[in-house]
Amino acid sequence: MRRRKRMKTVRLLEGVVTFYGSHHALRAENVLLENQQEVLLVPGPREISPNCGVALRFDYPVREQVKLLLRQSSVQFEAIHHYPA
């Protein structure tokens, strides 16, 4: 079983990716961690998406790179949001 990398810094991750199912969120986490992106699985904010109970926080300034990595890996996601904590 592969161990997940922990975030190295404690910094505000203001981007949120929402999904249609939790399996997509788990797959996205693996894809982004393999590409050295800082990510954190979190409960999905109901005010932005009622579809899935899991979302993925990331560093919002790199949203285009995140979107590209997810699409290249055929990870289905609902949307990318700017959602400060």
17: left (phi over 0), alpha (psi -120 to 50) or beta: beta
The pLDDT tens digits along the chain (85 residues) read 555 655 544 467 999 999 999 999 999 999 999 999 999 999 998 888 888 789 999 999 999 999 999 999 999 999 999 998 7
- Using a cut of 0.85, tell me whether the model's pTM lies above it: no
SS3 call for 35 = coil
User: For residue 2, what pLDDT is reported?
Assistant: 58
Q: How many helices (H) and strands (E) does the chain have?
A: 2, 4
Domain boundaries, the chain: 20-82
Query: CB–CB of 83/15 below 8 Å?
Result: yes
Architecture of domain 20-82: 2-Layer Sandwich (3.30)
Enumerate the β-bridge partners of residue 81. Answer: 16
SS3 call for 63 = helix
